[in-house]
Amino acid sequence: MSEGFISRGFRGRRQQGDTSGRLPPGQYLERGFPVLSAGPTPHTQLSAWDFSIVGEVDQPKRWSWDEFRALPRETVTKDIHCVTKWSKLDTHWEGVSLDTLLAQVTYDASYVIAFSDGGHTTNLPLEEVLNGQAWVVDTYEGQPLEPQHGGPARLLVPHLYFWKSAKWVRGLRLVDQDEPGFWESLGYNNHGDPWKEERYWGD
Amino acid sequence: MEKKLDVNAAGGILQVTFPFDMTLVEATCAGCGATNGIGGTTAYMHGMGTVVRCQSCDTVLIRMAQVKGRYFLDLRGIRVLEIGAES
């Protein structure tokens, strides 16, 4: 039936108990790394890649790939939680903290719109990407991040559902007024806290 | 791996919300202006929803998700739909 080809929501699917308390409500443990794509996988050449901070900033900022790679880097180990109900524990990433990136611009804004190759966007409160909560990562499990998982670089905001960790991220637009992103404007929760099970509008 | 299907193979995905056969409809892309049959487009079956893209420029033509018993449908990527009167 046609409904088999449409996302039908994720309540009531398999659930798995977890004694460690690391699985948010409704999530199950995933050993693999599922790939969800809403379009063709971009293959941006590193020579053409850049990362920008634009919007409500005194002076927009842009880093080439080499400049980005020269920024102070951090290694983080985090659990990730997809709204489609899988969770993956102890994932290892390397990249640049948004604290480091945003420290290089003067801004007056309350929200961040992350934008990616392929036209994808996701929105986040600025206060939820500062103070060690978000990174732009280019390395996963010690290897360059594969294109199918968002390489050369993706956002990592592990305390929110993983769709907020936008693949193929190319920049941040700082704004005063919140603007729902690609999935947030199509019925998915504007905030997306897995521990509060904020999957959909109205949750 | 991308979960990519042509719209016909997607088994009437669009019949759920349209009262006519969408695979027979011509759509003009709001991005590049190309007019193509919806039946020739590509549907990406993302776990969160279904995304139909222009076969000429990959602009998102249609986004659909079913959330808590309701369909969410975004057609902003289509400038014009041309629907046969007999569809």
Give the model confidence (pLDDT) of A56-88 as tens digits: 999 999 999 999 999 999 999 999 999 999 999
ipTM of the complex: 0.86
Residue A176 contacts residue A110 (beta carbons within 8 Å): yes
Q: Confidence band (pLDDT; 50, 70, 90) for A186?
A: very high
Residue A61 contacts residue A53 (beta carbons within 8 Å): yes
A30-64 pLDDT, tens digit each = 999 999 989 999 999 999 999 999 999 999 999 99
Q: Is A9 within a domain?
A: no
Residue B49 contacts residue B43 (beta carbons within 8 Å): no
Domain count, chain A: 1
* Per-residue pLDDT, A123: 98
E-assigned strands of A44-85? 50-55, 61-64, 74-81
> CB of A163 within 8 Å of any CB in chain B?
yes
Report whether pLDDT(A15) > 50: no
Q: Is A13 within a domain?
A: no
Beta-carbon separation of A183 and B60 below 8 A: no
Q: Is A134 within a domain?
A: yes
Read off the CATH number of the domain in which A117 is found.
3.90.420.10
- Range(s) of the domain holding residue A178: 22-32+49-196
Q: Is A60 within a domain?
A: yes
* Rama region for A68: left / alpha / beta (φ>0; ψ in -120 to 50; rest): alpha
Q: Which two tokens stand for residue B55?
A: 């076969």
Beta-carbon separation of A38 and B44 below 8 A: yes
Q: What percentage of chain A exceeds 90 in pLDDT?
A: 89
- Residues of chain B falling short of pLDDT 50: 11
Nearest to B10 among A5, A83, A186 (CB): A5
Q: What is the DSSP string of A84-124?
A: TSEEEEEEEEEEEEHHHHHTTS-B--SEEEEEETTS-EEEE
Q: Which residue of A has its CA nearest to B15?
A: A2
- CB count in 10 Å sphere of residue B32: 13
Q: Is A150 within a domain?
A: yes
Q: Is A203 within a domain?
A: no
Q: Is A16 within a domain?
A: no
Task: Residue A200: list chain B partners with CB under 8 A.
Answer: 67-68
Q: What is the pTM of this model?
A: 0.90
**Candidates A1, A3, A7, A120, partner chain B, best to mutate (most B CBs within 10 A):** A7
> CB of B49 within 8 Å of any CB in chain A?
yes
